[in-house]
Amino acid sequence: MKQTFHIIAIKNPFDDPFLLIRILREKKALLFDAGYIYGVDTGHLLKISDIFITHTHIDHFIGFDTILRLLLRRNSPLKVFGPKGIIDCIEGKLKGYTWNLIKDYPIKIEAYEVYRNRINHSSFYAQNSFKRVDNDSYEFNKTILVDPLYKVDALELSHQIPVLSFSINEDFHININKEALLELGLPIGPWLSDFKKALKRYYNLETKQLIDNEVILKVNNSLYTLKDLMPIAVITKGQKISYVMDVSPTEENFSKLIPFIKHSDHLFCEAYFLEKDRQRAIDRHHLTASDAGRLAKEAEVLNLTLMHFSPKYINSPQEIYNEAMDAFKK
C-alpha cells in the first residue's frame, strides 16, 4: 500500500532540525522547520509549497534563505506559517538582500503568524521588491491549512517564547484496486488523482456512502459517475504525522500536547537533553529524551523518531535512544 505522505527526515540528529513531507503524486512538499536542509535533493526542495516554522531560533530558520533562493522563479505562492514574530523575521530576512532586479520574478510569499486565537497574514511579492503588505487577520482554531488531501493543525506552546507544534492529518486514505480497474477497462493515469480528490470531497467516512451519487468524472473522453467508479477505491484509515520541537518540559505543555498528537502514526520529537541534565532542560526550555518517550507513550503513537540532540552528547547518542525507548515502551 502506498502512503500519501513520503517522509524525508534529517539524517543526523545533531544537525539543525527539519522534516520534509512529499505528497504522493502531487507536485508538492511540506517543510517543517528550515534547519540543516543542505544534503536534501534539490528536486524535493523545489516542490516545497508550504513551510511550517516552530519558532525562529536560528537552528530552525537558517535554511529559509536557501529555499527562497531556489524558489525565486516559482509561480504558485509559497506559504510560510509560524508563531508570533514570524512576519517580522521574514521581513527582516528579506531586508537583508537587495532586490532591484527581481520585479519580473513571479514568486509571492504569503506569511501567516499564529498567535493565541488569531492568524495575522502579510504578503511579500517579488513584483513589489518584497515590500511587506499587511492583510486582514482572521480567527485561528487549530487548523491552519486545508488541502483536499490533508489538513495541517498547529498548537501554540511555550519554549519561554511562543512555539508551535504541528500535525498533518489525512482523514482517510484511498488506494486503487488494480484488478477492479482492469475489470472496468480503465487505464492507470493522472485521472486517478482527480478521482481521489473527488472522493475526498464527496465520500462520508462515517456513513461509508457518497454524499452525492451524481458527480461525474471524465476518464479519457468517457464520462463516469463517481458511484460507478467506487469499486476501484479501497478506503483505509488516514495517516497522522506530528512534529514537536523545542518545548519547555512543563505539565501545562504536556497536557496540551498529548491530545494534540494523540494516535499519530509517526511522531518526530526533540530529545535535546538526558534526564540526568533535567535542570539544564528546565533552564533551556527543552524536552529530555525521557519526556519524548513519555509523550509518545501517553499519546499512543505508533512510531517515534528522535531529533535535535544537544551537542554535549555527541559521543553518546545511544544513551538518548535508550532513555527515550525505556519511557516509550514502559
Cα 35 to Cα 39, 105, 245, distances in angstroms: 11, 26, 12
Site mask, Zn ion, residues 189-228, x = CB under 5 A? ----------------------------------------
Q: Which is nearer to Zn ion, 50 or 59 (CB)?
A: 59
To Zn ion, the closest distance from the beta carbon of 282 in angstroms equals 14
User: Could you tell me how many residues make up the chain?
Assistant: 330
**Which region holds residue 310: left if phi is over 0, alpha if psi is between -120 and 50, else beta?**
beta
Q: Give the shortest CB-139-to-Zn ion separation in angstroms.
A: 27
What pairing do the DSSP bridges indicate for beta strands 240-244 and 266-270? parallel
The DSSP symbol for 144 reads E
Stretch that binds Zn ion, among 34-42, 54-62, 69-77, 175-183 (CB under 5 A): 54-62
Q: Which of 270, 264, 329 is nearest to 301 (CA)?
A: 264
Give me the least distance between CB of 59 and Zn ion, in Å please: 4
Is the CB of 17 or the CB of 293 nearer to Zn ion? 17
| Least spacing, CB of residue 243 vs Zn ion, in Å | 13
Q: Closest separation between CB of residue 77 and Zn ion, Å?
A: 27
Q: Considering the complex, state which of residue 149 and residue 292 has its C-beta at the smaller distance from Zn ion.
A: 292
Q: CA separation (Å) from 286 to 245, 291, 301?
A: 8, 10, 20
Q: Which is nearer to Zn ion, 124 or 273 (CB)?
A: 273
Q: How far apart are CB 54 and Zn ion at their closest, in Å?
A: 8
Which residue number, 63 or 238, has a Cβ lying nearer to Zn ion? 63
Nearer to Zn ion, 186 or 245 (CB): 245
How would DSSP label each residue in 86-122?
Answer: HHHHHHHHHTTS--TT-TT---EEEEEEEETTEEEEE
Footprint on residues 222-281 left by Zn ion (CB under 5 A): 246
For residues 141 to 180, the per-residue mask of contacts with Zn ion, x marking binding by CB under 5 A and - elsewhere, is ----------------------------------------
CB 266 within 8 A of CB 168: no
Give the interface segment with Zn ion, choosing from 56-64, 117-125, 209-217, 295-303 (CB under 5 A). Answer: 56-64
What are the residues facing 138 on neighbouring strands? 119
Binding residue count for Zn ion, defined by CB under 5 A:
3
Q: Which is nearer to Zn ion, 57 or 121 (CB)?
A: 57
Q: Alpha-carbon distance 315 to 330, whole Å?
A: 26
Pairing of strands 138-139, 303-307: unpaired
Q: CB-wise, 13 or 293, nearer to Zn ion? A: 13
- The set of cell numbers assigned to 327 is 519511557
Instruction: Name the segment binding Zn ion (CB under 5 A); options: 34-42, 51-59, 149-157, 192-200.
Output: 51-59
In angstroms, what is the minimal distance from the CB of 113 to Zn ion?
17
| Closer of 160 and 255 to Zn ion (Cβ) | 160
Distance CA 86, CA 106 (A): 22
Quick one: cell of 72? 525565486
Phi/psi for 80 (5° steps) reads -125, 125
In the complex, the smallest distance separating the C-beta of residue 58 from Zn ion, rounded to whole angstroms, is 9
Residue identified by cell 513584483 is: 127
- Least Cα distance to 246 among 301, 293, 279, 292 occurs for 292
CB of residue 160 to Zn ion, shortest distance in Å: 9
According to DSSP, residue 269 is labeled: E
57 binds Zn ion (CB under 5 A): yes
Residues that bind Zn ion (CB under 5 A): 57, 59, 246
